[in-house]
Amino acid sequence: MDQTDAKTKYFHLLAAQYPSVQDVCTEIINLQAILNLPKGTEHFMSDLHGEYEAFYHILNNCSGVVREKVDLLFASTMSESERSELCTLIYYPREKLKMTRVDGKNSPAWYRFTLQCMIELAKMLSSKYTRSKVRKAMPKAYAYILDELLHAQPDEDNNQLVYHDKIIDTLIGLGGGDAFIEALAVLIKRLAVDHLHIVGDIFDRGPRPDTIIEFLMGHHSFDIEWGNHDILWMGAAAGSEACVATVVRNSVSHHNMDVLERGYAISLRPLTLFAQRVYSAYDDPNEAALQAISVILFKIEGQIIKRHPEYHMEDRLLLDKIHYEAKTVHAYGKDWPMRTVDFPTVDPKDPYTLTPEEQAVLADLKNAFLESERLARHIRFLYETGSVYLCFNQNLLFHGCIPMNEHGQFETLFVDGNACKGKAYMDATERVARRAYFGDRDQSSLDFMWYLWCGSKSPLCGRIVKTFERMWVTDREAWVEPQNDYYVYCQQKASCRMVLREFGLFGDFCHIINGHLPVKVIRGERPVKGGGALITIDGGFCRAYQKTTGIAGYTLIFNSHGLRLMSHQPFKGKEHVLHENGDMQSQSEVIATAPKRVLVMDADNGHAIRERIADLKELMRIYQTEDLDGRV
Ligand SMILES: O=P(O)(O)OC[C@H]1O[C@](O)(COP(=O)(O)O)[C@@H](O)[C@@H]1O
Ligand SMILES: [Mn+2]
Contacts of 288 (CB under 8 A, 6+ apart): 272, 275, 276, 279, 280, 282
Q: Are 245 and 365 in contact (CB under 8 A)?
A: yes
In this structure, which ligand is nearest to the CA of 481? 1
Q: Are 428 and 418 in contact (CB under 8 A)?
A: yes
- CB-ligand 1 contact for 395 (6 Å cutoff): no
Q: Which of 216-220, 290-294, 522-526, 554-558 has the lowest mean pLDDT?
A: 522-526
Task: Tell me the CA–centroid distance for residue 228 and ligand 1, in Å.
Answer: 9
Best substitution site from 249, 298, 467 to test ligand 1's pocket, by max atoms within 8 Å of Cβ? Answer: 467
Q: Are 181 and 115 in contact (CB under 8 A)?
A: yes
pLDDT given at position 539: 72
Confidence at 163, pLDDT banded by 50, 70, 90:
confident
The secondary element (H helix, E strand) that includes residue 335 is: strand 334-337
- CB-ligand 1 contact for 201 (6 Å cutoff): yes
In this structure, which ligand is nearest to the CA of 465? 1
pLDDT given at position 525: 85
What is the spatial distance between Cα 241 and Cα 356, in angstroms, rounded to a whole number?
Answer: 15
Q: Which residues surround ligand 2, an ion (CB under 5 A)?
A: 201, 227-228, 516
- The protein residue with its alpha carbon nearest to ligand 1, atom 18, reads 465
Task: Tell me the CA–centroid distance for residue 2 and ligand 1, in Å.
Answer: 54
What is the spatial distance between Cα 78 and Cα 57, in angstroms, rounded to a whole number?
Answer: 23
What is the spatial distance between Cα 539 and Cα 546, in angstroms, rounded to a whole number?
Answer: 8
Averaged pLDDT for residues 576-602:
89
* Helix, strand, coil percentages, rounded to 5, for the chain: 55, 10, 35
Q: Which of 277, 499, 523, 503 is nearest to 408 (CA)?
A: 499
- CB-ligand 1 contact for 53 (6 Å cutoff): no
- CB-ligand 1 contact for 482 (6 Å cutoff): no
- CB-ligand 1 contact for 467 (6 Å cutoff): yes
Q: Which of 329, 245, 334 is nearest to 292 (CA)?
A: 245
Task: Tell me the CA–centroid distance for residue 43 and ligand 1, in Å.
Answer: 25
What is the spatial distance between Cα 556 and Cα 43, in angstroms, rounded to a whole number?
Answer: 6
pLDDT given at position 156: 67
pLDDT given at position 622: 92
pLDDT (tens digit, 9 = 90+) per residue, 362-415? 999 999 999 999 999 999 999 999 999 999 999 999 999 999 999 999 999 999
What is the spatial distance between Cα 148 and Cα 60, in angstroms, rounded to a whole number?
Answer: 25
Atom of ligand 1 nearest to the CA of 250: 15
Averaged pLDDT for residues 125-149:
88
Q: Whole-model pTM?
A: 0.93
What is the spatial distance between Cα 250 and Cα 273, in angstroms, rounded to a whole number?
Answer: 18
- CB-ligand 1 contact for 470 (6 Å cutoff): yes
Looking at the predicted structure, is the pLDDT value of residue 545 above 80?
Answer: no
- Which has more confidence, 33 or 448? 448
Averaged pLDDT for residues 534-557:
83
Collapse the DSSP code of 37 into the 3-class scheme (helix H, G, I; strand E, B; otherwise coil) and give the result: coil
Looking at the predicted structure, is the pLDDT value of residue 171 above 90?
Answer: no
What is the spatial distance between Cα 208 and Cα 224, in angstroms, rounded to a whole number?
Answer: 17
Confidence at 521, pLDDT banded by 50, 70, 90:
confident
Task: Tell me the CA–centroid distance for residue 467 and ligand 1, in Å.
Answer: 8
Task: Tell me the CA–centroid distance for residue 464 and ligand 1, in Å.
Answer: 11
Q: What percent of the chain lies above the pLDDT cut of 70?
A: 99
- The protein residue with its alpha carbon nearest to ligand 1, atom 11, reads 467
What is the spatial distance between Cα 183 and Cα 186, in angstroms, rounded to a whole number?
Answer: 5
In this structure, which ligand is nearest to the CA of 455? 1
- Which has more confidence, 159 or 183? 183
Task: Tell me the CA–centroid distance for residue 235 and ligand 2, in Å.
Answer: 15
Q: Are 498 and 381 in contact (CB under 8 A)?
A: no
Q: Are 16 and 24 in contact (CB under 8 A)?
A: no
Q: Which of 266-280, 404-418, 526-540 has the lowest mean pLDDT?
A: 526-540
DSSP string, 378-419: HHHHHHHHEESEEEETTEEEESS---B-TTSSBPPEEETTEE
Q: Which of 82-96, 151-165, 220-234 has the lowest mean pLDDT?
A: 151-165
Confidence at 280, pLDDT banded by 50, 70, 90:
very high
Looking at the predicted structure, is the pLDDT value of residue 563 above 70?
Answer: yes
pLDDT given at position 164: 82
Task: Tell me the CA–centroid distance for residue 425 and ligand 1, in Å.
Answer: 24
Q: Are 425 and 511 in contact (CB under 8 A)?
A: no
What is the spatial distance between Cα 415 and Cα 431, in angstroms, rounded to a whole number?
Answer: 10
Atom of ligand 1 nearest to the CA of 545: 14
Residues 377-389 as b/e (b if ≥16 CB within 10 A, e otherwise) read ebbeebbeebbbb
In this structure, which ligand is nearest to the CA of 398? 2
What is the spatial distance between Cα 169 and Cα 171, in angstroms, rounded to a whole number?
Answer: 5
pLDDT given at position 363: 98
Q: Are 537 and 566 in contact (CB under 8 A)?
A: no
The secondary element (H helix, E strand) that includes residue 494 is: helix 493-502
Task: Tell me the CA–centroid distance for residue 229 and ligand 1, in Å.
Answer: 9
- CB-ligand 1 contact for 205 (6 Å cutoff): yes
- CB-ligand 1 contact for 464 (6 Å cutoff): no
Torsions phi, psi for 442 (to 5 deg): -65, 155
pLDDT (tens digit, 9 = 90+) per residue, 458-476? 999 999 999 999 999 999 9
- CB-ligand 1 contact for 228 (6 Å cutoff): yes
**Pairing of the two strands 222-225 and 195-198:** parallel
Q: Which of 379, 59, 434 is nearest to 221 (CA)?
A: 59
Best substitution site from 230, 290, 465 to test ligand 1's pocket, by max atoms within 8 Å of Cβ? Answer: 465
Q: What is the DSSP letter of 263?
A: I
pLDDT (tens digit, 9 = 90+) per residue, 311-360? 999 999 999 999 999 999 999 999 999 999 999 999 999 999 999 999 99
- Which has more confidence, 575 or 384? 384
Confidence at 629, pLDDT banded by 50, 70, 90:
confident
pLDDT given at position 1: 64
Residue 252 Cα distances to 255, 293, 294, 404, 569, angstroms: 5, 9, 10, 34, 28
pLDDT given at position 549: 74
DSSP string, 266-283: ---HHHHHHHHHHTTT-S
Q: Are 36 and 599 in contact (CB under 8 A)?
A: yes
What is the spatial distance between Cα 235 and Cα 233, in angstroms, rounded to a whole number?
Answer: 5
Task: Tell me the CA–centroid distance for residue 126 and ligand 1, in Å.
Answer: 41
In this structure, which ligand is nearest to the CA of 516? 2
pLDDT given at position 88: 95
- CB-ligand 1 contact for 399 (6 Å cutoff): no
Confidence at 154, pLDDT banded by 50, 70, 90:
low
Round the average pLDDT of the chain to a whole number and report it. 93
Q: Which of 289, 279, 278 is nearest to 254 (CA)?
A: 289
- The protein residue with its alpha carbon nearest to ligand 1, atom 8, reads 465
- CB-ligand 1 contact for 543 (6 Å cutoff): no
pLDDT (tens digit, 9 = 90+) per residue, 105-124? 889 999 999 999 999 999 99
- CB-ligand 1 contact for 445 (6 Å cutoff): no
Task: Tell me the CA–centroid distance for residue 161 and ligand 1, in Å.
Answer: 58
Averaged pLDDT for residues 261-287:
97
pLDDT given at position 75: 94
Burial of residue 186, with CB atoms counted within 10 A of its CB: 0-12 exposed, 13-18 middle, 19 or more buried = middle
- CB-ligand 1 contact for 465 (6 Å cutoff): yes
Best substitution site from 318, 461, 545 to test ligand 1's pocket, by max atoms within 8 Å of Cβ? Answer: 461
- CB-ligand 1 contact for 481 (6 Å cutoff): yes
Task: Give residue 244's identity as a one-letter amino acid code.
Answer: V
Task: Tell me the CA–centroid distance for residue 287 and ligand 1, in Å.
Answer: 19
- CB-ligand 1 contact for 516 (6 Å cutoff): yes
Q: What is the DSSP letter of 544?
A: G
What is the spatial distance between Cα 613 and Cα 606, in angstroms, rounded to a whole number?
Answer: 10
Confidence at 501, pLDDT banded by 50, 70, 90:
very high
Burial of residue 358, with CB atoms counted within 10 A of its CB: 0-12 exposed, 13-18 middle, 19 or more buried = buried
In this structure, which ligand is nearest to the CA of 463? 1
What is the spatial distance between Cα 344 and Cα 622, in angstroms, rounded to a whole number?
Answer: 81
- Which has more confidence, 67 or 163? 67
